[in-house]
Structure 1
Amino acid sequence: MATQRDKSHRPRRPAEPAGGAAATNQEISAVLQEYAELLAITGGQQFKVRVYDKAARAVGGCPTEVSGLDIKDLQAIPNVGKSIAGKISEYVATGTIGALEELRAKVPAGVRALTEIPTLGPKRALELYEELRVSSVAELEQAVRAEELRGLRGFGPKAEENILHGIELLKHAAGRVSLDAAMGLADRVVGHLAALDECGRCEYAGSLRRMRETIGDIDVLAASSDAEPLMDAFVSFAEAPEVIAHGPTKTSIRTTGGLQVDLRVVPPDAWGAALLYFTGSKPHNIRIREIAQRAGLKLSEYGLFDVETGDLVVSETEEDVYERLGLPWIPPTLREDRGEVEAARRGELPAVVTERDIRGDLHTHTNLTDGLASADDMVSAAASRGYRYYAITDHAPNLFMQRMSDDKILAQREQVRKLQARRPRMRLLHGTELNIDPDGDVDWPPEFLAGFDLCVASIHSHFTQPRDQLTRRLVRACENPYVDIIGHPTARLIGKRPPIDVDWDEVFAACARTGTAVEINSFPDRLDLPDTLITRARQRGVKFAVDTDAHAEVHLAFLRYGVGTAQRGWVTSDDVINTWPLKRLRAFLRHRASH
């Protein structure tokens, strides 16, 4: 079976072109990615496929809005030449690309449907269509279960298992979007409404406020004594071509990307109760209502009321409602009925880590490997965030497609030293992201690794090894004295690739024993470790690094998603090594290397 390779940080394809609304960088990126995939399916030249793939990534990581650039400025984006710049301009102006439509016409709709299966590449999708004439995911699933693939070359039982797993991933992700896509849309909606004079307060609620890893729809809550102007502004939102319902207290729209957004407007004095109610989760709200009932109270989105008299007790702030029920305020990211109510009653809620606690980023990339920005630009972007320290950790040579060499990494180390002289307020760390090979070894010998300030080690291939081999592979990496952090430990890509099958208790025990930190990767496609595994690791005393794995300047802002994921795992600032002062962090890194 062919070796699997990491295809992270790929943009998602939009359901439809941008239409009347200004095209976002992610939309344009997704269109270019689709063009690359259709080229691959139709037998286009491989170098051309790579060019469009790189251009898609470059546009997705561009720090400025691409839709406002002219042809000349578009060509200044890395990997965007004259032809691609012309296609971008065409898409921005018309909502489509003629050459893309021609490619779409060459590929049967059934093949395009099959390419949505995360574990099935475009060429194999075309092969299955041509051999079996399956033209939908449902038909392919039926063919697999009927063992109709067994007669095809390269489609044995393991391939069948992978396809079925990919179909399950696709079903689970149906109708859901990544956290960053939902957050970006919610921020734009909230900004649109908050600018109105009639809007007293406005905030997103629901699973987005709880920082779930994928979002099905967006709940927005506003406080106003005059709801009509807010509802009118909401239905006129540029990204909302469809109004599902338009009422005095609730209005629903569907965006150009197919996502439903619900707006609820409540009186200003009901804000706290409504925010608590619409944030959820449902099981958490049930627990809160049970406490209210035992106290002779009734909790709704309009307030906390006395059952006997019907009088309003409190409603203006969430803190007021929780306090009246004998509880401290519970952070939204903890409201999943995982023991947070009981911990609150005992006074044992953790002071979870916040974005303000993070002093630096310990896992980032530059254009020396697969990043999109220079070291100088990445360092400048980090400095603008007020970081006390910042690490550059480009890929090591065993990830062959990155073409790293000893000379290149040593030249970068010298460049980092020069950049340090210009940034005296921020300590620059020169590191690397090592590859954990199938047997648990990493790139470079010990004497070379000793020259780095820190080393992240990650799995980038051979994801389907047996459980015991994968477990031993990670344990061996932890036991390497030069490995400081295990990067994106489960190697999952949300909705695209499942997590590796590992005995996590054994791995976390090894991390605790060796003092190896575990990464909470903030990249929205990863959010890795997931929150449930974070909890298990924390219970074993494991330390964490909340990093962005940034491949562009704009990716540094992904930190908010990693912090939210860490909070969902009940992580405190002391649990996170990149909240520590530089002196403590350096002592931790030196301690690892001295073993």
Structure 2
Amino acid sequence: MARSNEEVEALLREYADLLLITGGDAYRARAYEKAARAIGGHAADISQFDAKALRDIPNVGRSIADKVVEYLRTGTMPAVEEARAAIPAGVRELTAIPALGPKKAMILYEELEISSIDQLAQAIEDHQLRDLKGFGPKSEENILHGIGLMRAAGNRIPLDEAMDVADDIVSALSKVPGCRRCAYAGSLRRMRETVGDVDILVAAEESGPFMEAFTRLPLTSEVIAHGQKKTSIRTTKGLQVDLRVLPLDSWGAGLLYFTGSKAHNIRIRAIAVRHGLKLSEYGLFETKSGKTIASRSEEDVYARLGMDWIPPTLREDRGEVKAALEGQLPRLVEESDLRGDLHTHTNLTDGLESLEDMIAKAERRGYAYYAITDHAPKLYMQQMTEEKMLAQRERVRALDRGRRRGDTRLLHGVELNIDVDGDVDWPPDFLEDFDLCVASVHTQFGMDRKAMTRRLVRACENPHVHVIGHPTTRLIGKRPGIDADLDEVFATCARTGTALEINAHPDRLDLSDENILRAKSHGVVFALDSDAHSTRDLDNMRYGVGMAQRGWLTPDDVINTWSLTRLRRFLRKDTGHQPPT
């Protein structure tokens, strides 16, 4: 995403929050949220847009466009500055807590003079919130859980934000004369869902030019340390990035070492010791003689230890070393295996772009098939009706009939809402004519464990539901997953032939890798989807693939790697899991 788009999106979202904190019009705040999302998801860099070009973006009206133009011209947005000045110190910090909205944060400040997270935690410990209107024991529990999520996240940032930074740095340093190799390592290479810092490695004979170029990058706001072997910076967004320059002959060992994880490296070093060897970031050596055994490539290092090369996404000491020693590592699913996307949206509901634009991007991605799954009516703010859905179906079917051999085939689907009792929006006779039904929980996240489990199980048992979308509903660092007996849900999915989604949006990555592993052990199959609301979102599949790999999934575990013929048989939910065709 272009930097200007990101900055404007963040400002407009902040302004919407500030409006709510100060008791402003909720509809006005919603308008700013929608505009923020539209600008953030817009394909073109808005840095050179005038007001007219901005108004051409959906949901961006004249007043918002004028504010954005002023920001692009001056670097400030006075409306946001004024709103910030009206908010007591500390209140906005409270609004970042999952389960605590702007209005409740203001109540806490006005009634109890709470203006920090530590003060709030202490007030809950002292049961001070229970006498406030709108609060109670359940509220205290939810807020404490939200505080725990924030503290656990610490300074970690979402995977996609770290990836954007790393891609830019690798691209820039690869162009410096003398660069032999350049790559990111660490938890980012392992595709962890959040990243604490970014590790960049360069292979070159001289480190000086790279250290100098690194400190002068436009995204550098602070040089933390500057040396010959390692330099650390802090970016304009507060992310620490460490650069290490290695000799080319040590590239493989260094990449392995700095990729981690720590537990994986300890396991590998123990094997080296048993062979009378020593493994470090510089190479694999004979302990007695110091002779180099392997160092130039990861494959060589693993091979000299009697192991297959282990994909970075598996390096968490969860059985991958034993599997590599025994030649039993799976062939992990890759982005190139995906033949389609089964969960996407258009501007008929809450998407940002037209049906035609979304299809065109799917075609550019080379998909064999592509499903449109706009929201059903019980997600009331989307204002869906049977008439709108049927009109879209007619349009999709007409476009599909016009496809030539080898073109992307179109599936007309829907994202249904799972009610508290497990029912979905439309009756069976209406659902029968959809090619695909994704069903998701969008409301009532706080139900008790037994009721939530029953809710999901009943949806899985619905013969018209093919995929359970973002199954735990989590938003990383913002909203915890629902409380349900997931093993019972997984077993039900395996029994009914219902796929579980791996939602590739970086804010969700739902299912997580741990839950993918658990579900796979029950015999579940998965749909790896973008949940795209814009053409840019379709490219988020790389993050979903990372989660799938961390969950040890093969192409055969993921239904949208299958041929369209096999997929259609699966969607009938009457023939079980067929062999590949």
TM-score scaled to structure 1, two decimals?
0.95
The residue correspondences of 1:13-28 to structure 2 (distance < 5 A) are 23-28=3-8
Higher relative contact order (CA 8 A, sep 6+): 1
Residue 594 of structure 1: how far off its partner (Å): 11
CA positional deviation for 1:93: 3.5
1:374 pairs with 322, 329, 354, which one? 354
Q: Is the contact between residue 570 and residue 576 of structure 2 (CA under 8 Å) also seen in structure 1? A: no
**Partners of 2:96 and 2:113 in 1: CA distance:** 17
Residue 87 of structure 1, CA deviation: 2.0
Match in the other structure for 1:319: 299
Q: Is the 8 A contact 1:366 1:392 kept in 2?
A: yes
Q: Give the Cα–Cα distance (whole angstroms) in 2 for the partners of residues 545 and 339 of structure 1.
A: 25
Partner of 2:455: 473
What is the SS of the residue equivalent to 1:109?
A: coil
1:191-590 equivalence runs, <5 A: 191-424=171-404, 425-590=407-572
1:147 matches 2:127: yes
Deviations for 1:376-421, whole angstroms, at most 9, x for unmatched residues?
Answer: 1100011000000000000001111111100000000111123224
Given candidates 94, 115, 125, the residue that maps to 2:74 is 94
The AA in structure 1 aligned to 2:562 is: W
CA distance in 2, matches of 1:163, 1:507: 27
CA distance in structure 1 between the aligned counterparts of 2:65 and 2:144, rounded to whole angstroms:
39
Displacement, 1:583? Answer: 0.6
The question of whether the paired residues in 1 share the 8 Å contact of 2:313 and 2:550 is answered with: yes
Q: Is the 8 A contact 1:484 1:592 kept in 2?
A: no
Cα distance in 2 between the residues matched to 1:110 and 1:537? 41
1:67-216 aligned within 5 A: 67-216=47-196
Which whole-Å deviations, capped at 9, do the CAs of 1:24-45 have from their partners, x for residues lacking one? 4223211110011101111222
Shift of 1:98: 1.2
Residues 229 and 245 of structure 2 are in contact (CA less than 8 Å); yes or no, is this contact kept in structure 1?
A: yes
Asked whether the equivalents of residues 466 and 573 of structure 2 are also in contact (C-alpha less than 8 Å), the reply is: no
Q: 1:5 matched to which residue of 2?
A: none
User: Partners of 2:178 and 2:147 in 1: how far apart?
Assistant: 47
Aligned 8 A contact 1:23 1:92 in 2: no
**How far, CA to CA, are the matches of 2:175 and 2:104 in structure 1?**
50
Root mean square deviation, CA, Å = 1.4
- 8 Å contact from structure 2 (residues 173, 214) kept in 1: yes
CA distance in 2, matches of 1:231, 1:594: 57
Query: Which one is further off, 171-180 or 329-338?
Result: 171-180
Q: What is the distance in 1 between the residues matched to 2:441 and 2:57?
A: 30
Letter in 2 for 1:110: G
Mapped contact 2:20–2:26 kept (Cα < 8 A):
yes
- The Cα of 1:288 is off from its aligned counterpart by 0.5
- Partner residue in 2 for 1:18: none
List gaps (5 residues or longer) in structure 1.
Answer: 1-10, 12-21
- Between 410-419 and 429-438, report the one with greater CA deviation: 410-419
Q: Please, which of 32, 40, 47 is the counterpart of residue 60 of structure 1?
A: 40
CA distance in 1, matches of 2:574, 2:372: 19
Q: Distance in 2 between the 1:461 and 1:81 partners?
A: 29
2: distance between equivalents of 1:423 and 1:60? 32
Letter in 2 for 1:260: Q
Q: How far apart, CA to CA, are the structure 2 residues paired with 1:592 and 1:193? A: 54
Moved more, 43-52 or 448-457: 43-52
Identity of aligned residues (%): 63
Measure, in 1, the Cα distance between the counterparts of 2:45 and 2:439: 33
1:235-266 deviation line (CA, Å, top 9, x unaligned): 00101110001111111000111000001110
- Contact kept, 8 Å, 2:497 with 2:576, in 1: the verdict is no
* 1:149 to partner: Cα distance: 1.1
Q: Give the secondary structure class of the aligned counterpart of 1:591.
A: coil
Q: Equivalents in 2 of 1:213, 1:592: separation in Å?
A: 35
Secondary structure of 2:359's counterpart equals helix
Counterparts of 2:444 and 2:62, CA distance in 1: 38
The answer for unaligned runs of 5 or more in structure 2 is none
